[in-house]
Structure 1
Amino acid sequence: MIYELRIYDVSPGKMEAIIERFDNHVVALFAKHGMPIKQFWVDADDANNRLYYVVEHRDMEARNLNYERFRADAEWIEVKRISELNGPLTQKQESIFMRNADFFKTS
């Protein structure tokens, strides 16, 4: 498995809107396309206006294929269009890819 940490710099005043979009649509759409979200955070410092989440993927090839299907999904296209009628919800998105360290075991 690989884990993708996605970091969004949220547009000013849009944090509530992006959280609602994830809660009402994106989490389920990611699951539909084989991309379970394992954890979700908002920055402890509201001034940073950042959102973080981790997506689990079988491997990089599956990740890329699943994102292609997600981005082409008619429901996603409409949700994105409607949620961004008053401007984009994010200014920047960054991905960091990780895998479990062999020496560290969780119980």
Structure 2
Amino acid sequence: MGLRTLFLMGLYFFGYAAALGQRPVYQLRIYKLHAGNEQHFHKRFSEQCMPIMRRYGFDIVFTSESGEAGHKDFVYLLRWKDRDTQNAAWKRFLADPEWVEIKRVTAARWGDLVDEVQDRSLDLLPYTPKPSQVP
């Protein structure tokens, strides 16, 4: 192989690796809701939490609920440009004085709204299909 071919191959692989680094990261979060406080949680999340999250660039793909009465889970999926963006946004959100105060006030009034949090960052694989148009 000539020097030119090796150089071009190096550029190709460097570009490919850089493109992989720019793949979006998805984040799956599952909250086990405290029985009896589901309504309070949903009100806080939709009316107070989501507007603050938007300020910090959170891209909420969907929100849903699963389980039966008294055993509900709140599930949502976030999309991030990359892992650094994800980490920086969470750090700013969790330190936001308005959010800290909202959590303090709701905990004092209603107690625990969430019993457990599961958090998974999901890296797309190269063979992941493009997003479908199905809602």
TM-score (norm 1): 0.90
What is residue 8 of structure 1 aligned with on the other side?
Answer: 31
Q: Can you list the C-alpha shifts for 1:46-81, whole angstroms capped at 9, x where unaligned?
A: 343110001111111111111110011111011111
Matches within 5 A, 1:10-89: 10-85=33-108, 86-89=110-113
Q: Does 1:92 align with 2:120?
A: no
- Which structure 2 segments of 5+ residues have no match? 1-23
CA distance in 1, matches of 2:28, 2:49: 16
CA distance in 2, matches of 1:3, 1:48: 25
Say how many residue pairs are matched. Answer: 107
| Contact 2:58 2:89 (C-alpha < 8 Å) held by counterparts | yes
CA RMSD of aligned residues (A): 1.5
Q: Could you say what secondary structure the match of 2:111 adopts?
A: coil
1:103–1:33 distance in 2 versus 1, CA, 3 Å? closer
Q: Percent identity?
A: 23
TM-score (norm 2): 0.72
Bigger helix share: 2
| 1:103 CA displacement | 4.2
CA distance in 2, matches of 1:53, 1:46: 19
Q: Can you list the C-alpha shifts for 1:27-47, whole angstroms capped at 9, x where unaligned?
A: 111111111211000115334
CA distance in 1, matches of 2:99, 2:75: 20
Output the amino acid matched with 1:90.
V
Q: Larger relative contact order (C-alpha < 8 A, sep ≥ 6)?
A: 1
For the pair shown, the structure with the greater C-alpha radius of gyration is 2
CA distance in 1, matches of 2:37, 2:121: 26
CA distance in 2, matches of 1:62, 1:103: 21
- Which structure 1 segments of 5+ residues have no match? none
Output the amino acid matched with 2:107.
E
Q: Could you say what secondary structure the match of 1:13 adopts?
A: coil
